[in-house]
């Protein structure tokens, strides 16, 4: 019997290991990289705890060496998708009725397994499968994944202890029930941590999920699923079904038991899921909760007088780390005339030292973009700029997909603040700069605010405090994560709760109580000790 009233303390963030040459973590990682590079993993579906091999096969390759297959995966068909919904429904009541500290223990155990026993394995899979260098993988697959799990436990304990007042003759309480039905978790390729959290935050609150992972991140995502099971996540609580997004999405959104969608990915996919839900509204048992974090067109606004060394370093890292494939990556800059040449020259210098190549060589700062379709898309933006009189390539602009999907970090300068690459999400290593007159700060801030449909991240660099305050205020809705004198990427769980509004999503701030609260449907229970036996009020007698 568990009758504890338990408070989990605010956890510390998982330390980022250094991976210096010869360190134990580096040796273990290199061994695991070798092992995974010489194996082809067979990835089944996992439904109700059972591994299912459908025989309809797809392959997963290394983006930096696309001739190298690292996994074969089995695709879900209509039958398996429906089985996954049934398995999640079957597991729901037992999981929801567990004492919440049981669920918390499992979350904390997953975090321990990831940071200790499987650190090298999950890092290697993320590096090889998603083309991340050691540092990018470590901060994502290990640190952020563990942080989400540990902080969610703390925030869940804060939610559960939030209780209403009781007074004489009554006792009131809130029961934080899981949603009634199944949560559909749809994850993007770019963060292993997000794939974990899209499942684990609803699961922490007593829900069960059907998980559609992105095909290109299947190796790390499959290892996550195995870790969830080893930690004690019961059969059917998470059901892992690789396959066609369109087919899985259509079956899930037409299920009467859909209780919520927890999504991260592109704006267009989220819009299509939302429309599908709207079209099925009459069929649902409850209104599904729709939580989605989508794209961005993240900006750096440089004020006159800013420190150009700081701007150049922030803009280069913010735009090109992980090849610009972070939803938060800087992709447009507003630079005053007086600082343009200095910032241009410093960023150009960085472009000469930032090496590009496979993530297995630790000297490479930039690796490959995720797949051929992303490569072609990004290149089309670069070619468009090359062919336009309104744009000039400052550095980069080269690409090669013969062995891996490599695109060099590219800076475009445009004379048109509404140039295509200033407005549309590219999701690759491309940043566009618009140079404004120093006297036009106000108009340019308005332009920055009104240029793109997104509102995810943005940064302002400057020294004059009053100017910074003005920028903060004018750009109030331009970013859900706003940075002052820092790059707009690298949000840390518990420190910079993450998410944006406008076209960037529902802004439910992953990794905190705002997100967790979306996965519960509270029931208020009032008990009256001595109920009245008359209907008349005192003054009526
Ligand atoms: P994507 O939209 O192409 O795919 C996301 C997931 O949706 C994948 O698993 C995909 O298979 C699935 N999918 C595709 N069509 C579907 C459908 N009709 N029904 C159901 N599922 C479907 O996105 P991506 O390329 O994997 O990720 C890149 C995008 O994600 C970028 O736009 C980026 O900005 C965004 N992103 C946002 C955040 C954030 O927190 N705001 C974080 C990471 C990535």
CA distance 199 to 209: 6
391 and 458 both lie in a single domain = yes
CA distance 438 to 305: 10
Ligand 1 nearest-atom number relative to CA 504: 41
Find the CATH number of the domain harbouring 312. Answer: 3.40.309.10
| Mutate which of 251, 262, 266 for ligand 1 pocket (most atoms within 8 A of beta carbon) | 266
Question: 187 CA distance to ligand 1 centroid (A)?
Answer: 6
Find the CATH number of the domain harbouring 188. Answer: 3.40.605.10
320 and 374 both lie in a single domain = yes
Question: 190 CA distance to ligand 1 centroid (A)?
Answer: 9
Which residues line ligand 1 at a C-beta cut-off of 6 Å?
A: 186-191, 194, 212, 214, 245-246, 248-249, 264-266, 269, 272-273, 293-296, 327, 425, 427, 456, 504-505
**pLDDT band at residue 7 under the 50/70/90 scheme:** confident
- Find the catalytic residue in 293, 321, 425, 448: 293
245 and 367 both lie in a single domain = no
Q: Per-residue pLDDT tens for 332-361?
A: 999 999 999 999 999 999 999 999 999 999
Q: Which residue puts its alpha carbon closest to atom 26 of ligand 1?
A: 188
Q: What is the pLDDT of residue 75?
A: 98
176 and 322 both lie in a single domain = no
408 and 273 both lie in a single domain = no
403 and 510 both lie in a single domain = no
Q: What is the pLDDT of residue 1?
A: 76
283 and 302 both lie in a single domain = no
Q: Please indicate, yes or no, if residue 16 is contained in any of the structural domains.
A: no
Number of domains in the chain: 2
Q: Does the global pTM surpass 0.75?
A: yes
204 and 110 both lie in a single domain = yes
What is the DSSP-derived secondary structure letter of residue 504? T
DSSP string, 162-206: ------TTEEEEEEEEEPSSEEEEE--SS-HHHHHHHHHHHHHTT
Mean pLDDT of 499-511: 97
Question: 216 CA distance to ligand 1 centroid (A)?
Answer: 11
Q: Per-residue pLDDT tens for 145-173?
A: 999 999 999 999 999 999 999 999 999 99
Q: What is the pLDDT of residue 2?
A: 78
Q: What is the pLDDT of residue 538?
A: 87
CA distance 172 to 525: 6
| Mutate which of 265, 496, 498 for ligand 1 pocket (most atoms within 8 A of beta carbon) | 265
- Percent pLDDT > 70 in the chain is 100
**pLDDT band at residue 232 under the 50/70/90 scheme:** very high
Mean pLDDT of 280-300: 98
Q: What is the pLDDT of residue 179?
A: 98
| Mutate which of 188, 224, 244, 490 for ligand 1 pocket (most atoms within 8 A of beta carbon) | 188
- Name which of 287, 244, 273, 265 is nearest 81 in CA terms: 244
255 contacts 182 by C-beta, under 8 angstroms = yes
30 and 128 both lie in a single domain = yes
Q: Please indicate, yes or no, if residue 351 is contained in any of the structural domains.
A: yes
Q: What is the pLDDT of residue 119?
A: 98
CA distance 134 to 321: 12
- Find the catalytic residue in 32, 144, 327, 425: 327
Q: Please indicate, yes or no, if residue 416 is contained in any of the structural domains.
A: yes
Beta strands 430-436; 330-336: pairing state: parallel
Question: 189 CA distance to ligand 1 centroid (A)?
Answer: 7
Residue 472 known to be catalytic: no
406 and 514 both lie in a single domain = no
Q: Please indicate, yes or no, if residue 288 is contained in any of the structural domains.
A: yes
Mean pLDDT of 367-380: 98
Question: 267 CA distance to ligand 1 centroid (A)?
Answer: 8
Q: What is the pLDDT of residue 541?
A: 85
Q: Please indicate, yes or no, if residue 532 is contained in any of the structural domains.
A: no
Residue 49 sits in which domain range? Answer: 24-294+505-525
Q: What is the pLDDT of residue 193?
A: 98
325 and 282 both lie in a single domain = no
Q: Please indicate, yes or no, if residue 469 is contained in any of the structural domains.
A: yes
Q: What is the pLDDT of residue 5?
A: 81
Q: Please indicate, yes or no, if residue 372 is contained in any of the structural domains.
A: yes
Q: Per-residue pLDDT tens for 275-284?
A: 999 999 999 9
Residue 467 known to be catalytic: no
**Average pLDDT of the residues of the chain:** 97
Q: What is the pLDDT of residue 360?
A: 97
Question: 188 CA distance to ligand 1 centroid (A)?
Answer: 4
In sequence order, the 6+-apart residues with CB closer than 8 A to the CB of 368 are: 63, 64, 131, 323, 358, 404, 405, 406
Q: Please indicate, yes or no, if residue 490 is contained in any of the structural domains.
A: no
73 and 201 both lie in a single domain = yes
């Amino acid at each position: 019997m568990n009758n504890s009233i338990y408070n989990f303390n605010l956890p510390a963030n998982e330390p980022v290991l250094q991976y210096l040459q010869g360190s134990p973590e580096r040796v273990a990682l290199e061994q695991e990289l070798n092992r995974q590079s010489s194996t082809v993993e067979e990835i089944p579906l996992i439904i109700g705890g059972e591994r299912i091999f459908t025989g309809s096969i797809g392959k997963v390759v290394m983006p930096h060496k696309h001739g190298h297959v690292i996994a074969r995966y089995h695709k879900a068909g209509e039958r398996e998708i429906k089985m996954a919904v049934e398995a999640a429904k079957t597991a729901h009541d037992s999981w929801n009725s567990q004492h919440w500290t049981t669920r918390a223990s499992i979350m904390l155990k997953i975090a321990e397994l990831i940071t200790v026993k499987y650190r090298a394995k999950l890092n290697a899979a993320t590096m090889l499968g998603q083309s991340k260098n050691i540092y990018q993988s470590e901060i994502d697959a290990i640190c952020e994944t563990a942080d989400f799990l540990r902080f969610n436990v703390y925030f869940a304990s804060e939610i559960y202890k939030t209780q209403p007042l009781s007074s004489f003759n009554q006792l009131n309480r809130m029961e934080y029930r899981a949603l009634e039905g199944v949560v559909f978790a749809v994850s993007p390729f770019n963060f292993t941590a997000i794939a974990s959290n899209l499942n684990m935050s609803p699961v922490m609150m007593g829900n069960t999920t059907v998980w559609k992972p992105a095909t290109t991140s299947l190796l790390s995502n499959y290892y996550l699923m195995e870790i969830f099971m080893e930690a004690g996540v019961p059969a059917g609580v998470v059901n892992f079904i690789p396959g066609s997004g369109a087919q899985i999405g259509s079956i899930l959104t037409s299920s009467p038991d859909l209780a919520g969608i927890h999504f991260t990915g592109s704006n267009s996919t989220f819009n299509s899921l939302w429309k599908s839900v709207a079209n099925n509204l009459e069929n649902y048992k409850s209104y599904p909760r729709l939580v989605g974090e989508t794209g961005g067109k993240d900006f750096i606004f440089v004020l006159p007088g800013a420190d150009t060394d700081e701007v150049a370093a922030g803009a280069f890292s913010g735009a090109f780390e992980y090849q610009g494939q972070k939803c938060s990556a800087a992709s447009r800059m507003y630079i005053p005339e007086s600082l343009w040449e200095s910032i241009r020259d410093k960023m150009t210098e960085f472009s000469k030292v930032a090496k590009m190549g496979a993530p297995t060589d630790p000297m490479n700062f930039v690796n490959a973009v995720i797949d051929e379709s992303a490569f072609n898309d990004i290149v089309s933006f670069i070619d468009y700029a090359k062919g336009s009189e309104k744009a000039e390539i400052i550095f980069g602009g080269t690409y090669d997909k013969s062995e891996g999907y490599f695109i060099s970090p590219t800076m475009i300068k445009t004379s048109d603040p509404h140039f295509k690459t200033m407005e549309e999400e590219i999701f690759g290593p491309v940043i566009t700069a618009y140079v404004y007159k120093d006297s036009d700060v106000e108009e340019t801030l308005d332009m920055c605010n009104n240029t793109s449909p997104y509102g995810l991240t943005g940064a302002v660099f400057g020294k004059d405090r009053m100017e910074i305050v003005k920028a903060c205020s004018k750009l109030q809705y331009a970013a859900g994560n706003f940075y002052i004198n820092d790059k707009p990427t690298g949000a840390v769980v518990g420190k910079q709760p993450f998410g944006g509004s406008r076209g960037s999503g529902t802004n439910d701030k992953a990794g905190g109580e705002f997100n967790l609260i979306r996965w519960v449907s509270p029931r208020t229970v009032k008990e009256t000790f001595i109920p009245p036996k008359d209907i008349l009020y005192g003054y009526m007698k």
